[in-house]
């Protein structure tokens, strides 16, 4: 039975990798995908460590990074709320919930909302604004299932509903994520993970704002409304492969080191390294670095890749039968104001 499960896990990992290569690897289409809210990271712990967190992410925190990690949730119920200031004063709110369902597995639910603030309405006649404002609404709702196949291997998948609305236009889509985690690979503390994210059909904006009033060139009929057909856009599909190593020096001190390779259809290949130091499973220090050696330079000769270092800290404190964790992360961005992230996790 164990050998059969291991073979199934191996095949799942192969299928995930093949699907990722088929849908995600396309360096000639850098910058052409939409629905970028799917790629915005969430949760202070994961952001502080960087993308390599997907290898050892657990519980509700893992729903975004690697759905397989939800299977490692130990509490019956775990909830996470997170707030981040993103690029250009964009706010990102995120909430996630993980619920153990006995032998069936673990179920997860999450919602991500992107707040763009108030934007002036501009027209051909009023390029500086006509006095009105609007606020786009971008919401992603997700459902996740995860299950431990063995004491070392877990698998999970997520289905996300993507909704974007700008004035009287909207686009809706569906995205699929799948991931695997393999713990204690050959060596105690050595973990491996593979995930493919945001696989799904293209999205297209429709709505009354795409109607334009025009007259036929022949002048044989009066002006009337014509519908402009908006171009469709792909989801920001990606594939991630990561490894991590956790070393417990004694009952008090432990450190986790991780590395990640990310291949996607909207940026060049990315690499990430991260680390977390834990003291008595109560206090945590974290750091990470993301880079893209293949990213081209901007006109000044400087690298055009936006992201580099991250760091953060956290505290975990049980109160009776409730586990509380408060985490903070700082994400440096080239050319933009850095991001600050705060997360609260509650488990019972």
- The pTM of this model reads 0.89
Flag whether pLDDT at 266 surpasses 90: no
Rounded Cα gap, residues 71 and 79, in angstroms: 14
Specify the residue for token string 């200031």: 85
Residues forming beta bridges with residue 237, ordered by sequence position: none
Strands (E), 54-104: 77-85, 91-100
Both tokens of 170, joined, read 């909207």
Cα angle: 301, vertex 334, 116; to 5 degrees: 130
For residues 1 and 319, which has the higher predicted lDDT (pLDDT)? 319
Specify the residue for token string 């297209």: 204
SS3 187: coil
Domains annotated on the chain, with CATH: 2-347 (2.40.160.40)
- Residue-wise pLDDT for 121-178, tens only, equals 888 888 888 889 999 999 999 999 999 999 899 999 999 999 999 999 999 999 999 9
b/e 38-63 (16+ beta carbons within 10 angstroms → b):
bbbbbbbbbbbbbbbbbbbbbbbbbb
Report for 16-20, 56-60, 301-305: range of highest mean pLDDT: 56-60
Rounded Cα gap, residues 21 and 196, in angstroms: 9
Average pLDDT over all residues of the chain? 88
Residues sharing a CB contact under 8 Å with residue 147, sequence separation 6 or more, in sequence order: 71, 104, 105, 106, 154, 155, 156
For residues 222 and 249, which has the higher predicted lDDT (pLDDT)? 249
Over range 102-115, report the average pLDDT: 96
Specify the residue for token string 């981040």: 84
């Amino acid at each position: 039975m164990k050998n059969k499960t291991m073979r199934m896990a191996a095949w799942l990992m192969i299928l995930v990798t093949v699907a990722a290569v088929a849908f995600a690897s396309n360096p000639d289409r850098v910058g052409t995908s939409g629905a970028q809210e799917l790629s915005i990271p969430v949760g202070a712990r994961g952001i502080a460590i960087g993308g390599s967190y997907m290898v050892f992410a657990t519980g509700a925190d893992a729903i975004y990074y690697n759905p397989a990690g939800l299977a490692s949730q130990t509490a019956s119920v775990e909830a996470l709320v997170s707030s981040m200031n993103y690029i250009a004063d964009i706010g990102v709110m995120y909430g996630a919930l993980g619920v153990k369902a006995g032998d069936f597995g673990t179920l997860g639910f999450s919602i991500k909302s992107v707040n763009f603030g108030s934007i002036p309405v501009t027209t051909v006649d009023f390029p500086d604004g006509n006095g009105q404002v609007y606020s786009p609404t971008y919401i992603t709702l997700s459902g996740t299932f995860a299950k431990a196949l063995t004491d070392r291997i877990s698998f999970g998948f997520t289905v996300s509903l993507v909704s974007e609305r700008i004035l009287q236009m909207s686009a809706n889509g569906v995205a699929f994520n799948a991931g695997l985690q393999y713990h204690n690979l050959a060596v105690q503390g050595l973990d491996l993970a593979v995930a493919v994210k945001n696989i799904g059909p293209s999205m297209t904006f429709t709505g009354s704002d795409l109607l334009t009033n025009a007259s036929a060139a022949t002048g044989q009929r009066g002006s009337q409304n014509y519908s402009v057909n908006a171009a469709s856009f792909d989801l920001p599909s990606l594939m991630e492969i990561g490894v991590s190593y956790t070393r417990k020096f004694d009952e008090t001190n432990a450190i986790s080191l991780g590395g990640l390779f990310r291949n996607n259809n909207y940026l060049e290949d990315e690499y990430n390294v991260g680390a977390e130091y834990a003291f008595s499973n109560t206090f945590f220090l974290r750091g990470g670095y993301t880079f893209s050696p293949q990213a081209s330079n901007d006109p000044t000769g400087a690298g055009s890749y936006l992201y580099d270092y991250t760091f953060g800290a956290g505290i975990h404190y049980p109160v009776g039968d409730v586990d509380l964790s408060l985490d903070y992360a700082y994400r440096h961005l080239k050319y933009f104001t850095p991001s600050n992230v705060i997360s609260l996790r509650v488990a019972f």
